Chain A
């Protein structure tokens, strides 16, 4: 239990640091930037306290907002993603999923991929919608969501493969 807590705190700080130092400076074509820090919410232990996840996501988003001068967009997107995560599990892994058996930090299967894709899409859509905050920019929002999601997804999968625990 304690080790899981430490792993999560470590993951929180590490992902945030990497995001701020490296990924926030990435700007392809001026508007496509990846946000792999949401891996913290995605990889949070499946069967642990939901309120804890909500609070942690809130602070994660708040830190991101602080560092990127962006009001509360990241906070809102993170909180919403954290709240709807169980529903995404249900959608991706089927109704009869068992909490204990889901391991995300592993080889990519269609279920895991669809869960990742949906999480990233939801987060980015909310983030860019709040950032633009205008219905006239809806095409721009959708384009940015799509391109940035692809970018984030690729980096997330790379990170998952790199940090995957070794199997004996």
Chain B
């Protein structure tokens, strides 16, 4: 026993080196494997926070290029508009598939929470502007949430970063669907549960809203697959979906009026009564 202690004491430096080297090599090798660990990554609180600070400063430095990009986009859109007047070719004004521009209410987020389990947004348009509960809210990047309550001029939105929200979503390349929930951990990721094992999925695949939802039109962007888990109890996939949207940084949003929603719900109610 004494000798063991002596050995450890004598070689403490070498043992510490081997221990630290072992840890670092383990991390290195793990990072090369397919399902890499995210412990040592810039997604954690320390480095993420520092990068956010840096970004806050560099944002100002990029304002000129941002302006240029916006001006160019304006020019391009304008040219499309003028061309459409001259020719019989009708351009689609809105790039969002299945959304008619007449059915959109533009609004602005005035309050945003993302640090609790049940997060809500507040937007500055309400029932006077035609906002009703259970309308979908999106922005140019993807979905944001669903209208919860409305007052005259304001409305609250159940953010997709809310453990209560459940949205029908599917894979873009196939029609395998699941329901989109949030586990309350990271604001950048939501979970797509109950995806059948038949679906061929890969990291990086795009997830869009599904056709079964009466709130959102089909094919609105949500995010990309980041990690894939297999649920051992029921053999369904659970996917971590990295959101296109930065939910912590929201400006203007669009509220989608769905004309057919009442019709669909009434029809389904009728079906249930008949049975």
Listed in ascending order, the chain A residues whose CB lies under 8 Å from chain B are: 20-21, 50-51, 54-55, 58, 61-62, 65-73, 75-76, 79-80, 82-83, 130, 133
Contact = CB atoms under 8 A, between A and B. Distances in A.
Contacts of B36: 71
B32 A133 contact: yes
Nearest to B42: A69
A-B pairs, 3 with minimum CB distance: A71-B31, A72-B27, A75-B24
A61 B54 CA distance: 21
A58 B13 contact: no
Interface string B237-268: 00000000000000000000000000000000
Contacts of A50: 13
Q: Is the interface of B mostly helix, strand, loop or mixed?
A: helix
Contacts of A65: 27, 40
A80 B23 CA distance: 12
Nearest to A74: B24
A126 to B, nearest CB: 10
A160 B229 CA distance: 50
Interface in B197-211: none
Interface residues of B, number: 26
A76 B30 contact: no
Given A67-B42, A79-B21, 16 more contacts: A51-B13, A51-B16, A54-B17, A54-B20, A67-B50, A69-B41, A70-B31, A71-B28, A71-B31, A71-B36, A72-B24, A76-B28, A79-B24, A80-B21, A130-B28, A133-B28
A81 to B, nearest CB: 11
Contacts of A79: 17, 20-21, 24
B27 A75 contact: yes
B44 interface: yes
A168 B32 CA distance: 52
Contacts of B8: none
B26 interface: yes
Given A54-B17, A71-B32, A72-B31, A66 B24 contact: no
Contacts of B44: 66
A69 B27 CA distance: 11
Interface string B210-235: 00000000000000000000000000
Contact of A71 (B17, B21, B27, B54): B27
Contacts of B1: none
B188 to A, nearest CB: 14
Contacts of A69: 41-42
B12 interface: yes
B83 interface: no
Contacts, number: 74
Interface in B26-54: 26-32, 36, 40-42, 44, 46-47, 50-51, 54
B78 to A, nearest CB: 35
B52 to A, nearest CB: 12
26 contacts: A51-B12, A51-B16, A54-B17, A58-B23, A58-B24, A61-B24, A66-B40, A66-B46, A67-B42, A69-B42, A70-B31, A71-B32, A71-B40, A72-B23, A72-B25, A72-B31, A73-B24, A73-B28, A73-B31, A75-B27, A76-B24, A76-B25, A79-B20, A79-B21, A130-B28, A133-B32
Contacts of A72: 23-28, 30-31, 40
A61 B28 CA distance: 12
A72 B46 CA distance: 17
Contacts of A51: 12-13, 16
B47 A67 contact: yes
B12 A66 contact: no
Interface string B43-83: 01011001100100000000000000000000000000000
B148 to A, nearest CB: 37
Interface in B60-110: none
Nearest to A129: B28
Contacts of A80: 21
Contacts of A67: 42, 47, 50-51
The CB with the most chain B CB atoms within 10 A, among A21, A61, A62, A67, is that of A67
